[in-house]
Chains A and B, each alone.
Chain A
Amino acid sequence: MSMYMKAGIRMTSAEIVVIGAGVIGTSIAFRLAESGRQVMMIDRNGIGAATSSACDKAIFLQSKRPGLHMDLARESRNMYNTLEEELGQSVEFKGAGGTVAIHTEQQMLFMKKFVHDQTQAGINVSLLNQKEAKEQQPILADDIIGASYSPDDAEVNPLKLSQGFATAAKRLGVEIMTHTEAIGIEKSNGKVTGVKTSKGVISTETVINACGPFASSIARFSGVPMNIKPRRGVILISEKVDPIVNGSLLDAQYIAAKHLSGQQPEYGIGLSLGQTDSGNLLIGGSREFVGFNKHVHSDVLHAIAYHACKVVPALTNIRIIRSMVGFRPFTGDGLPIIDRSEQLRGYILAAGHEGDGIALSPITGCLVRDLLNGGGPTSRFLPHLTSDRFKEKTLL
């Protein structure tokens, strides 16, 4: 303790400490404060400054696997309908629908089955022929053979999302400490007693690890092992142009890269296209396991650009002004871990949303709230989000 005193650092306490202020941590802090908890949220950088600001803006329902994955996404998507009202500010949410472009017969076969399964699961999605697809998304290439479309897909500005949750949380009394890095967890008799940070110790009995792809480093302090790997995604950003994309656009290769194992395209390339209110296009993307390496080889950029021009030739003469590199927290089964630790009482993990952090941000706050309260509207999902579902895999 003396080393912190020496640095002139205060000691403080909180009922709950949330580590990580991205779209997940801020949502959790907001819901916990709303339910009357005294919360402190810390982040080593700032609000939404890492993964949550290096991602696309789509809230896709039709890209999810029917079953639990879909049910979670659907419930979270519905929470967006009232979110801006709850937060008291705009997050640029728009229910503008989503399109998945199909260009090969092989993709058509896969997508026919995918759309069929989703329709069975009660998702509002339909298969469009070439003419209908071009009407829905006029910028698509002439040689596409069809598309799937769902009016329930939506979009949001991820920057405004974490800022909106953080501002609302602050209003409810959450103390936010940015530029404050967690460097250890204090324990006694198998229980959490505090969080060591770069600015001092916070006494607490409950700590929530909401560090996304960086969750493993906090898990190391807790002594509770876990398996979340960073999966790198690169997105190109264009100059501002007039609105040219209706809602969000993916291509079937993206869906295949997400759900099919074995036949991954090189660098995990698949198109994701969205346009911000300011007019910039977000053109993705890649999916690679390269650790936390932020240095992107130019071949990856070329490959993203080549694929995007093929699906949407109208992008060819648009200028790219910068790029984003983000790390998605990969768990292996596409679902996050929302669970208490068995070994260390008071330690809770809420991470591993991979590419669905934006879609699942609203529900994650409710999941953690219900986990702590021992019940609530979302608690039926919790038995499926435990960390021990990976136990056998970890042993292998």
Chain B
Amino acid sequence: MDCVICRCEEVLLSDIVRAIEDGYTSHREIKLKTRAGMGICQGRTCRLLLDQVIASVSQGPVPKTIGIAPNVPIRPIMLGDLAKGGGKAK
């Protein structure tokens, strides 16, 4: 039975499994290949699920390379609001 792993980008379990079988084995590779974790929550929701899928398909530990590290801004922010900060560069 298929199910949604990444809700932001609507990526299915079967998409993730296919990517791992194609050799995209780390968080970051799976993100670049399937868009899982690329959306608005930056992987906060699907990250643990992804860990489990990776470990279960590859029958090994999760590769210890770059994972999905949430990036700035940590919450969505209007570009106009982001433009208001700082001051040095204006």
Tally chain A residues at the interface, Cβ within 8 Å: 43
Separation of A188 and B33 alpha carbons in the complex (Å): 40
* B86 to A, closest residue via Cβ: A302
Instruction: Output the nearest chain B residue to A179 by Cβ-Cβ distance.
Output: B63
Stretch at the interface among A47-55, A115-123, A145-153, A212-220: A47-55
> Would you call B3 an interface residue if the criterion is a C-beta within 8 Å of the partner chain's C-beta atoms?
no
B11 CB to nearest A CB, Å = 12
How many angstroms between the C-alpha atoms of A315 and B39 in the bound complex? Answer: 19
Residue of B nearest to A319 (CB): B76
Q: How far is the CA of A250 from the CA of B77 in the complex (A)?
A: 23
- Say yes or no: B77 contacts A47, CB within 8 Å: no
Partner of A46, one of B26, B39, B72, B84: B26
A178 to chain B: which residues have CB within 8 Å? 23, 25-26, 29
Is A306 interfacial (CB-CB < 8 Å)? yes
When chains A and B are docked, how far (Å) is the Cα of A46 from the Cα of B90? 39
A278 within 8 A of B: yes
B66 touches A49 (CB 8 A): yes
Choice from A269, A308, A316 contacting B89 with Cβ under 8 Å: A269
Chain B: interface residue total (CB-CB under 8 A): 34
B32 on the interface (CB 8 Å rule)?
Answer: yes
- A319-B78, A320-B82 given; A45·B89 CB < 8 A: no
Chain A residues closer than 8 Å to B76, beta-carbon distance: 239, 319-321
What are 28 of the A-B contact pairs (CB < 8 Å)? A46-B24, A46-B28, A46-B29, A46-B32, A47-B24, A47-B33, A49-B32, A49-B66, A53-B32, A163-B32, A178-B23, A178-B25, A238-B79, A296-B72, A299-B88, A302-B84, A302-B85, A302-B87, A302-B89, A303-B89, A305-B79, A306-B86, A308-B83, A319-B77, A320-B76, A321-B40, A322-B42, A323-B72
